[in-house]
Amino acid sequence: MRKIKKVLVANRGEIAIRIMKTLKLLGIGAVGVYSEADKLSKHISYADEAYHIGEPEALKSYLNMERIIDVAKKANCDAIHPGYGFLAENHIFAKMVEDNGLIWVGPPHDCMRNLGDKINSRIIAQKANIPTTPGGTIEDLDKAHELADKLGYPILIKASAGGGGKGMRIVHDSKDLEESIKIARKEAQAAFSDPTVYIEKYIEDAHHIEIQFLLDKFGNGLYFPERECSVQRRYQKIIEESPSPTIDRHTAQEIGQAAILIAKTAGYYSAGTVEFIYDKKEKKYYFLEVNARIQVEHPVTEEISGVDLVALQIDIAEEKPLEISQNELNLRINGHAIESRIYAEDPDNNFMPSIGKIEHYREPTGNGIRVDSGFFKGSEVLIHYDPLIAKLIVKAPNRTMAIRKMYAALSDYHIAPVKTIIPLLKNIFQHEKFVNGDYNTRFIETYAADLFNTKKDSKYVSEAIVMFNYLKHKKHQAEVDEYSQSLQPYWDTIGYWRG
Amino acid sequence: MRKIKKVLVANRGEIAIRIMKTLKLLGIGAVGVYSEADKLSKHISYADEAYHIGEPEALKSYLNMERIIDVAKKANCDAIHPGYGFLAENHIFAKMVEDNGLIWVGPPHDCMRNLGDKINSRIIAQKANIPTTPGGTIEDLDKAHELADKLGYPILIKASAGGGGKGMRIVHDSKDLEESIKIARKEAQAAFSDPTVYIEKYIEDAHHIEIQFLLDKFGNGLYFPERECSVQRRYQKIIEESPSPTIDRHTAQEIGQAAILIAKTAGYYSAGTVEFIYDKKEKKYYFLEVNARIQVEHPVTEEISGVDLVALQIDIAEEKPLEISQNELNLRINGHAIESRIYAEDPDNNFMPSIGKIEHYREPTGNGIRVDSGFFKGSEVLIHYDPLIAKLIVKAPNRTMAIRKMYAALSDYHIAPVKTIIPLLKNIFQHEKFVNGDYNTRFIETYAADLFNTKKDSKYVSEAIVMFNYLKHKKHQAEVDEYSQSLQPYWDTIGYWRG
Amino acid sequence: MEKLQVNGNIVEYEISSKENEFTITLNAEKNTYSVFAYGDEYLLFNAEENKFQVLDVYRDKNKVFLWAGDEELLVEEEQEDISAENVELSENIIKSPMPGIIKEIKFEEGDMVKKGNTIIVLESMKVLNELKSSIDGVIKKIHVSVNAQVGPLELLVEIDGGE
Amino acid sequence: MEKLQVNGNIVEYEISSKENEFTITLNAEKNTYSVFAYGDEYLLFNAEENKFQVLDVYRDKNKVFLWAGDEELLVEEEQEDISAENVELSENIIKSPMPGIIKEIKFEEGDMVKKGNTIIVLESMKVLNELKSSIDGVIKKIHVSVNAQVGPLELLVEIDGGE
């Protein structure tokens, strides 16, 4: 065992805040970093100390490995927590951290290297006798055509170093294969500095099911109830829920045990997630990849289990053993949790990112409503980073109540003038298919007609017009008031202001 | 089984809101009521419909039984939920509700009558072989002196119809006995329309331990882990936590089973709480009273168990059986929860209520932080009602983390210019004795010197002065800006405002 | 009659007010609302029907965003619809659909292109977006170079349709 | 030197400013802070020490309430201490310590009372409060009657101490 006293959080936005909050609860010092563009961003106020690390461009700040390690040493940190994104799955950085005598709050770097390569991680899963999706590597274009033909179109091209849909392409026709591989390679290069891509069978009734797990350094493992993350746009999740409405408890247990097996085979410790594709028609699951980091959607698991995953990451990094058994964990699970990702994107305009200043910002509050946010009134949605404003998580005794709570909470989430996907999310939580738990990864495209551009008649037209006129009046009145007030400036009677 | 479709919530403030929120999650209509003074109070916006029921004085509005039942019938409600306080434990009202063909969301009225009388409830507990505190009724002054002398001073005088410290007096000397009985009788009459008081032994190292329980109409019962509510001022709780740091798990189970036994003996159904006094020195517990209602501090139990107690009250009122077993409940309990009551009182001035308008109001937010509040910016703390602004509840994996989370949340709770007990609460959560779980019902008086009027040197004097000067400057600047803006009123160019 | 756009639809109404009381006639229906400050929001009370509605608002110049119940509404002063004249233009030009960085320009000025050809690859928030030609034609002018950072709706490429 | 009261203590300081930058000298220590809007709060950045502090504020006339870290501060323009002259008076009168309703008046004008005698029972928020005499004396004047509603710090009873 070793004691961590001060942690540098090498991230920004909601995840930096979420990590720092737990550090405070543990009595551990939190050191923040920020780019030039983040000088006034929300996360720095949660740090005990914060350091400027470079230009807005991520490469020159949040991806600047040397600079971050320098800051960690200068600030006398004994550990680095990478959050998700940026350097979180960079095994070179993880090694560099340890070579500099700092603790890496995450899995072993060699394990990260092996799992980070998707092709390699498939081999690890196969070694553990866990099924992987049919597919293979791309040696040359002819072989790629051969493999794609054998699997049958549509097929998927995926980045070997990838994640989050970056570098992923769906190909419907062999004539598009070459161009798609090219684009995917470029995207992969841009996002992960590694152009390797591979081909996978595309499953029609596919469900994205994933298992959060924990492994300590003594071989004790815990798997949590599955999260279903099938509601996606641009191959990126926007809604996650746990438990899944798709699979039964027996399958959940089977997949959970498979996850632990894969992680152990890979020599993993810390928190991680194994992603699976579940073919509902065939009732089969396939290993997809391991996310060797804390995930965006980890709060869903926290809400139904009562654990603090970041605190447990710290425990494991401090070489403490896990304290509860799988059976104890299973029995304490209760209720249903859902997460909505609040992206600054215009859902009615092909999810075009909506850049700019948030002038009006009001978060929902209440029992069982959790908002993990990196923004407040006056924050700028910046071009340089992910347009995730916040994660809205609800917990309720059952799925029906959770969906209603989510719908009410989304209605109470007021953001302007930046556009967000809240209107789309509200439509989803009112959609019969979603409410019935009958959705797969193609949900959004299948029901696009119901979900987008659905302007209903308003119930509040009179009220809205009255309010518009009232505000006009008030504005006018305020000017009159301010004017008369300025004639007798109570506050400034002493008038000693020096410019 | 019967289905409830629309509920009148016969209450105001945070508890009315909390109940209405659950009704919405259950798809049940919520009808609100409000007094003249509450026309613009927060709770009405959570109702689907709201009705004016009379003058500010509670007797003419929230205690106006006929009026409330009239509204319920007019609005086509099929049930009434009383919350806590006001009519919640009024068995006459409960009967009137049922006589009018409405469902009472609470225990049977005859059971309420029996338990509402504290003297009678002691007899019920004794019948169930549960120990009660030594003491007895007051037949005449001589007998009272005799009994008090036998028990030994100090003794307690308590209202038989009472609760919440009203009508309760501690008597240290026999010369004060007569006057104290007189005062207590008056207070009891004022608060409960019943002047009956009785005498109880005063326990020195006393802990207030209580058990939340549920009983359905089929005899199925559940008890929850104990709440410790020993931190009190004026005999009223200000902090509650669960589990208690005072008793061990074996005792908790014993007291839990005792609670169920008493409730069953009384013929109870719905949610309720059995209060006990735990004598730490003697390791003995004594039955105190049954609270035949939902309690202020019920969220503490919800947070560690994941249940929604109001939803379960509705289930029971709908004649559904409880769905989980005691064993399942025991195994799902996890973590630690604490509640702080945010009263509008000046702790440094003998808890004088602080009446007036809340001009600045900022609630803490975050994972595991729950604020059940009846107020917002612009709300008035009114003389007519309880000065409870809100309840701040935190949940964390363990007690240490929960205390730290509470301290941070209290620091983030900003209310002005109305005074609150937040400064006192912060001192408590930093007090070594509280942090070590070493406190009893006399905690606040014992450590008054540490807890009150403790002005520490500020770390932020420079920053505060800079801010003061900045605001002065800004005010001045705003006036100049508004003035120049009023010369070119962009918004009002059309100028068609009609007064 | 006065006019406003509510959620893009033009609404005609009559309104009069006295202090905080507003009487509005809309679709031949007359309602009176009292407006009160309510926390950071507003409460509109319709005494006649004993109905109230809480509204959160944000005013951005001559637009007002409102949130009421489960709805978000946009109220604007009536505006000329200027989109019509842009329709034709959009055929011949490629604008940036969002801010980003030009990662690749696949043609040069003078090159012939077909409808559907990818002309520009724009990276925004780490995703590569292919901007395609919507007509057959010849590249007339390229206004950007590789690695240039562009704002939203910036003119990137002009294509001569040959008409 | 300028003066302010911070948490009741008088503080002397010097300050100068340029745009949003403030230089303050306090106890011979000089610090420069830049002030930024930060959500609904403010952020003060001390570039020299690379330290920042978030402050929430509320201004009530010439008082400012501030919240910084785990502290709540009150900054006021320096005021004359007027409490001294009230001390003596308070001996001879009973004021309502809080708003409430007079439930009982135990004496009449002209009655002799002893220090510690309960004179008035005031009900506030359902709790009965006994207001006692702090001197021996004679009830000079009773300003209220039973069931009267009184505000905070209203004069209820005058007692003649006999000096």
The whole-number pLDDT of residue B118 equals 86
Considering only the beta carbons, identify the residue of A40, A51, A494 that sits closest to D36: A40
Q: C49 at the A interface (CB within 8 A)?
A: no
Mean pLDDT of chain C: 86
**What is the pLDDT at residue B266?**
97
- Active-site annotation holder among A293, A332, A399, A498: A293
Say which of B18, B293, B341, B370 is annotated catalytic.
Answer: B293
- Tell me the three-class secondary structure of chain A, residue by residue: CCCCCEEEECCCHHHHHHHHHHHHHCCCEEEEEEEHHHCCCHHHHHCCEEEEEECCCHHHCCCCHHHHHHHHHHCCCCEEECCCCCCCCCHHHHHHHHHCCCEECCCCHHHHHHHHCHHHHHHHHHHCCCCECCEEECCCHHHHHHHHHHHCCCEEEEECCCECCECCEEECCHHHHHHHHHHHHHHHHHHHCCCCEEEEECCCCEEEEEEEEEECCCCCEEECCCEEEEEEECCEEEEEEECCCCCCHHHHHHHHHHHHHHHHHCCCCEEEEEEEEEECCCCEEEEEEEECCCCCCHHHHHHHHCCCHHHHHHHHHCCCCCCCCHHHHHHHCCCEEEEEEEECEEHHHCCEECCEECCEEECCCCCCEEEEECCCCCCEECCCCCCEEEEEEEEECCHHHHHHHHHHHHHCCEEECCCCCHHHHHHHHCCHHHHCCCCCCCHHHHCHHHHCCCCCCCCCHHHHHHHHHHHHHHHHHHHHHHHHHHHCCHHHCCCCCCC
- List the structure tokens of B408: 């941070």
First to last CA, chain A: 57
Task: Say what the pLDDT of residue A371 is.
Answer: 97
Chains in contact with B via at least 3 Cβ–Cβ pairs below 8 Å: A, C, D
Q: Which has the closest alpha carbon to B294: B214, B223, B209?
A: B214
Task: Assess B453–A contact: CB distance below 8 Å, yes or no.
Answer: no
Using the predicted structure, report yes or no on whether residue A499 has a pLDDT greater than 50. Answer: no
Task: Please report the pLDDT score of residue D36 as a whole number.
Answer: 95
Answer whether residue C84 shows pLDDT above 90: no
pLDDT on residue D163:
54
Of residues B277 and D83, the one with the higher pLDDT is B277
How many Å apart are CA C52 and CA B348, to the nearest integer? 40
Tell me whether A417 touches chain C (CB under 8 Å).
Answer: yes
Interchain proximity D38–A40, CB inside 8 Å: yes
Q: What is the predicted pLDDT for the residue at A379?
A: 94
Identify the pLDDT of residue A54.
96
Cβ-defined contact of D40 to A376 (cutoff 8 Å):
yes
Over residues B203-216, the pLDDT tens digits come to: 989 999 999 999 99
Are A466 and C15 in contact (CB < 8 Å)?
yes
pLDDT of residue C163: 53
Place of tokens 């553990």: A128
pLDDT at residue A483, rounded to an integer: 47
Size of interface A-D (CB pairs under 8 A): 33
Q: What is the pLDDT of residues A279-335, one digit of tens each?
A: 999 999 999 999 999 999 999 999 999 999 999 999 999 999 999 999 999 999 999
Using the Cβ of A5 and the Cβ atoms of chain D, whether some distance falls under 8 Å is answered with: no
Nearest residue in chain C measured CA to CA from B75: C50
User: What does the mean pLDDT of chain A come to?
Assistant: 92
Task: Give the gap in angstroms from C-alpha A192 to the nearest C-alpha of chain C.
Answer: 10
Neighbours of A364 (CB within 10 A): 19
Say yes or no: D84 contacts chain A, CB-CB below 8 A: no
Residue A490 confidence class, pLDDT cut points 50, 70, 90: very low
D36 to chain A, any CB pair closer than 8 A? The answer is yes
Give the pLDDT of residue B161. 80
Whole-angstrom Cα distance, residue A491 to residue D79? 15
Rounded to two decimals, the pTM is: 0.87
- Strand pairing category for A49-54 and A29-35: parallel
Candidates A405, A462, A472, A477: best to mutate against C (most CBs of C within 10 A) is: A462
C79–chain B Cβ distance below 8 A for any pair: no
Please tell me the predicted confidence (pLDDT) of residue B329: 97
Q: Residues near B57 by Cβ (< 8 Å), separated by ≥ 6?
A: B35, B384
Residue A293 falls in the annotated catalytic set? yes
Cross-strand bridge partners of residue A274: A211, A290
Split at pLDDT 50, 70, 90, the class of D126 is low
Closest residue to A376, CB basis, from D39, D52, D61: D39
For residue D82, pLDDT over 70 is answered with no
Phi and psi dihedrals of B459, rounded to 5?
A: -85, -10
Q: Which among A352, A359, A466 has the least Cβ separation from residue C58?
A: A359
Q: Does A34 touch chain D (CB under 8 A)?
A: no
Task: Tell me the nearest-neighbour CA distance from B52 into chain C, angstroms.
Answer: 9
* Confidence band of C103 (pLDDT split at 50, 70, 90): confident
Q: Mean per-residue pLDDT for D113-128?
A: 82
CB A416 to CB C60 under 8 A? Answer: yes
At residue A107, does pLDDT exceed 80? yes
Contact C64/A234, CB-based, under 8 Å?
Answer: no
Q: Which residue, among B357, B358, B466, would best test binding to D if mutated, counting the most D CBs under 10 Å from its CB?
A: B466
Q: Which residues of A touch D2 (CB under 8 A)?
A: 496
Name which residue leads in pLDDT, A252 or D19.
Answer: A252
Does the CB of B478 have a partner CB in chain D at under 8 Å?
no
Residue in chain D closest to B360 (alpha carbons) equals D58
For B:267-286, CB contacts with C below 8 A are: none
Judge contact between A330 and A364, C-beta under 8 A. no
Average the pLDDT over D46-64 and give the result. 93
CA distance readout (Å), C110 to C52, C92, C121, C130, C159: 64, 14, 19, 20, 9
User: Looking at chain A from residue 56 to 115, which residues have their Cβ under 8 Å from any Cβ of chain C?
Assistant: none
Minimal C-alpha gap between C55 and chain B (Å): 10
Spatial CB neighbours of B140, under 8 Å, sequence gap ≥ 6: none
What's the gap in Å between the CA of A394 and the closest CA on chain D?
Answer: 24
Q: Indicate the pLDDT class of residue A491, thresholds 50, 70 and 90.
A: very low
Give dist(CA C72, CA C54) in Å, integer: 12
Closest-CA residue to B276 (of B300, B296, B252):
B252
D22 touches chain A (CB under 8 A): no
pLDDT for res D60? 87
The answer to whether the CB atoms of D38 and A45 lie below 8 A apart is: yes
B380, B381, B463, best to mutate vs chain D, most D CBs in 10 Å: B463
For A56-72, what is each residue's pLDDT tens digit? 999 999 999 999 999 99
Share of chain A above pLDDT 70, in %: 94
- Nearest-CA distance D50 → chain A (Å): 8
Of A191, A416, A465, the CB nearest to C6: A465
Please indicate if any CB of chain B lies within 8 Å of the CB of D17.
Answer: yes
Q: Give the model's pLDDT for residue B163.
A: 67
Q: Provide the pLDDT for residue B252.
A: 97
ipTM over 0.95: no
Q: Once rounded to an integer, what is the mean pLDDT over residues D48-74?
A: 94
Q: Encode burial over B381-409: b for 16+ CB neighbours within 10 A, e otherwise.
A: bbbbbbbbbbbbbbbbbebebbbbbbbbb
Chain B contact present for D19, CB below 8 A = no
> Binning pLDDT at 50, 70 and 90, where does residue A383 land?
confident
* Residue spans of chain B under pLDDT 70: 163-164, 454, 476-499
The phi-psi region of residue B162 (left if phi > 0; otherwise alpha if psi is between -120 and 50; otherwise beta) is: beta
Q: Confidence class of residue A488 from pLDDT cuts 50, 70 and 90?
A: very low
Residues 75-94 of A with CB under 8 A from B: none
Choosing among A28, A308, A367, which should be mutated to test the B contact, i.e. which has the most B CBs within 10 A? Answer: A367
* pLDDT tens digit sequence for A154-184: 999 988 887 667 778 889 999 999 999 998 9
The answer to whether B35 and B44 are in contact (CB under 8 A) is no
Contact A458 C64 (CB under 8 A): no
- List the subunits that have 3+ CB pairs under 8 angstroms with C: A, B
Find the closest chain B residue to A302 by CA distance: B367
In this prediction, residues C5-25 reach a mean pLDDT of 94
Q: How far apart are CA B306 and CA A431, in angstroms?
A: 27
Residue C86 has pLDDT above 50, yes or no: no
Interface of B with A in 286-325 (CB under 8 A): 299, 302, 305-308, 311
Q: What is the pLDDT of residues B334-377, one digit of tens each?
A: 999 999 999 999 998 889 889 899 999 999 999 999 999 999 99
Residue A361 has pLDDT above 60, yes or no: yes
- Contact of D54 with chain B, judged by CB distance below 8 Å, is answered with no
Verify whether the Cβ–Cβ distance D6 to B464 is below 8 Å: yes
Lowest-confidence segment of A51-55, B264-268, D146-150 by average pLDDT: D146-150
Q: Which residue in B has a C-alpha nearest to residue A324's C-alpha?
A: B334
- Ranges of H-type helices in B31-83: 65-74
